[in-house]
């Protein structure tokens, strides 16, 4: 008779090991995926319009040089006429309106621009630019001009199309909405891409939805930094978020400064008003004013703004937005020709400089053609990402209806110590960027209501259990 062996303590069955605690990212990933999915589906049409119009705008700088070659360029001559003589030639051909500014020829083969305001038939916010040959005084044409970069009709039309779809202030909401969400979509996609296993990121040897996802994720990862930059800089001059940014800069003392245009000479307010109404020959005249600015180191390109009223000075400012930026400006007393104030770009506050550089990089000016080609590449990448995104939506739901959505309830998996600070951060961002905060709040409210309705309907119709939310 055998005796059953005794069970020692070491041989006793061990209790099952506890399940490993779920990491914060494991709970957060479904929420990021759901937000990226719905934001991509709903915001993508606005982003597509912004990308297409942005692509056209980046190309418009080179197109402008071709279309308006006669107005912009001249054969190089031996000696330039005085600026005052060039302005006189422009006024003889176009006596209407008043001289708002003069941009002397910045290069040997470039024309001088004389900008006229209050010209009949010209948009009140624009000027009529009269192009003058600096060597002969020949007027080579006149075109409507807009903005500090001197955009001519072709670029102006594309610029306004990109900014507001030619709908005015209401139309600006579209571009601000797109800019408000672009960084969220790009950042979320970047996080999701790098959280995937390396083997799942490859394109080679894959097909179907996995190949589309690999293309979408790979291009998006490379372009994400550019998208985030375009979003941030685009918001700086938007209607609502731009106002918040402006208020913040003002509170920090980081506003863009301007030269004082008050004339301080003892004859200020007398000689400055002696010119014929509508021309630019106040007091000492344009030639001496330009010479005074040159003596202060203001090289081309420059813009001369005549005194706005009695007692104010000429303002001469550099207008080069390409690298290195030239933004120095001086005020010149029209009675004496003496410089009364000097403002150097080097003395701008840090945020003012960053804003200037950011806007010029966003608009394709800072680094010229290379900058414009980079912007066109980003716009093309965004267009492809949107098309691939919609294709993935189609491929994901082909077996059970178009565009099967990501399941609800993702927020319930986020640990409270992550969810609470995240909600606080979203609230702050929503306050300063309302076209991000308001749509996000509406989406969350609708999503929660629909989820609750589906949950209760499932309780009534499914006797075996509740439906997953």
Provide mean pLDDT across the span 229-243. Answer: 93
pLDDT of residue 460: 61
Give 254's contacts (C-beta < 8 A, 6+ positions apart): 349, 350, 351, 352
pLDDT of residue 467: 44
The per-residue pLDDT for range 295-306, each reduced to its tens digit, is 999 999 999 999
pLDDT of residue 397: 67
Provide mean pLDDT across the span 233-256. Answer: 92
Alpha-carbon span 59 to 361, nearest angstrom? 14
Q: Are 363 and 237 in contact (CB under 8 A)?
A: no
Average pLDDT, the chain: 86
How many other β-carbons are positioned within 10 Å of the β-carbon of residue 298?
A: 20
The per-residue pLDDT for range 392-443, each reduced to its tens digit, is 888 876 544 445 566 666 666 677 777 788 888 888 888 889 999 888 888 7
The per-residue pLDDT for range 156-193, each reduced to its tens digit, is 999 999 999 999 999 999 999 999 999 999 999 999 88
Does 252 have pLDDT greater than 50?
A: yes
The per-residue pLDDT for range 78-110, each reduced to its tens digit, is 999 999 999 999 999 999 999 999 999 999 999
Q: Are 338 and 295 in contact (CB under 8 A)?
A: no
pLDDT of residue 419: 75
Output the pTM of the full model: 0.85
pLDDT of residue 46: 96
The per-residue pLDDT for range 257-309, each reduced to its tens digit, is 999 988 765 555 555 444 544 567 778 999 999 999 999 999 999 999 999 88
Provide mean pLDDT across the span 126-143. Answer: 98
pLDDT of residue 468: 43
pLDDT of residue 209: 80
Q: Roughly what angle, to the nearest 10 degrees, separates helices 416-432 and 434-461?
A: 130
Q: What percent of the chain has pLDDT over 90?
A: 63
pLDDT of residue 441: 82
The per-residue pLDDT for range 55-64, each reduced to its tens digit, is 999 999 999 9
pLDDT of residue 90: 97
Alpha-carbon span 319 to 339, nearest angstrom? 19
Where is pLDDT greater, at 164 or 40?
A: 164
Q: Spell out the domains of the chain, with CATH numbers in brackets.
A: 23-68+156-256+356-413 (no CATH), 69-151 (3.10.450), 271-347 (3.10.450)
Does 337 have pLDDT greater than 80?
A: yes
Q: Are 323 and 369 in contact (CB under 8 A)?
A: no
Which of these ranges, 36-45, 289-298, 349-358, has the smallest mean pLDDT? 36-45
pLDDT of residue 274: 46
pLDDT of residue 417: 79
Alpha-carbon span 449 to 165, nearest angstrom? 34
Per-residue CA distances from 397 to 153, 405, 450 (Å): 46, 8, 20
Does 139 have pLDDT greater than 70?
A: yes
pLDDT of residue 469: 43
Does 359 have pLDDT greater than 50?
A: yes
């Amino acid at each position: 008779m055998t005796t059953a062996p005794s069970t020692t303590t070491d041989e006793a069955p061990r209790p099952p090991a506890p399940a490993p605690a779920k990491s914060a990212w494991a709970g957060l990933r479904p929420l990021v995926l759901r937000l990226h999915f719905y934001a991509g589906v709903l915001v993508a049409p606005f982003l597509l319009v912004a990308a297409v119009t942005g692509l056209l705008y980046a190309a418009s700088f080179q197109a402008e040089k071709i279309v308006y070659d006669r107005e912009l360029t001249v054969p190089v001559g031996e000696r330039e006429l005085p600026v005052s003589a060039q302005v006189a030639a422009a006024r003889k051909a176009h006596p209407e309106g008043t001289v708002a500014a003069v941009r002397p020829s910045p290069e040997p083969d470039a024309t001088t621009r004389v900008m006229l305001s209050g010209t009949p038939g010209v948009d009140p916010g624009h000027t009529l630019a009269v192009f003058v040959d600096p060597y002969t005084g020949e007027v080579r044409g006149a075109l409507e001009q807009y903005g500090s970069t001197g955009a001519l009709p072709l670029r102006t039309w594309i610029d306004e199309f990109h900014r507001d779809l030619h709908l005015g202030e209401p139309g600006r909401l579209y571009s601000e909405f797109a800019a408000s969400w672009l960084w969220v979509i790009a950042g979320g996609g970047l996080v999701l891409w790098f959280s995937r296993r390396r083997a799942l990121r490859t394109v080679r040897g894959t097909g179907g939805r996995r190949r589309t996802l690999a293309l979408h994720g790979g291009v998006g990862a490379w372009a994400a930094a550019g998208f985030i930059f375009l979003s941030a800089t685009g918001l700086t001059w938007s209607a609502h978020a731009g106002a918040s940014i402006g208020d913040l800069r003002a509170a920090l003392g980081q506003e863009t400064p301007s030269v004082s245009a008050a004339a301080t000479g003892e004859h200020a307010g007398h000689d400055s008003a002696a010119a014929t109404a509508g021309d630019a020959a106040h007091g000492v005249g344009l030639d001496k004013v330009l010479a005074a600015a040159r003596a202060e180191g203001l090289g081309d390109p420059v813009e001369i703004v005549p005194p706005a009223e009695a007692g104010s000075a000429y303002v001469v400012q550099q207008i080069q937005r390409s690298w290195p930026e030239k933004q120095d400006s001086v005020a010149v007393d029209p009675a004496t020709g003496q410089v009364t104030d000097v403002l150097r770009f080097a003395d701008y506050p840090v945020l003012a400089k960053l804003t200037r550089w950011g806007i010029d990089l966003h608009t394709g000016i800072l680094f010229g053609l290379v900058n414009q080609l980079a912007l066109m590449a980003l716009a093309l990448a965004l267009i492809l990402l949107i098309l691939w995104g919609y294709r993935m939506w189609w491929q994901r739901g082909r077996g059970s209806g178009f565009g099967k959505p990501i399941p609800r309830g993702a927020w319930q998996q986020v640990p409270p110590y992550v969810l609470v600070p995240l909600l606080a951060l979203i609230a702050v961002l929503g306050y300063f960027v309302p076209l991000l905060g308001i749509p996000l709040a509406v989406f969350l409210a609708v999503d929660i209501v629909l989820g609750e309705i589906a949950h209760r309907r499932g309780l009534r119709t499914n006797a075996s259990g509740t439906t997953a939310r």
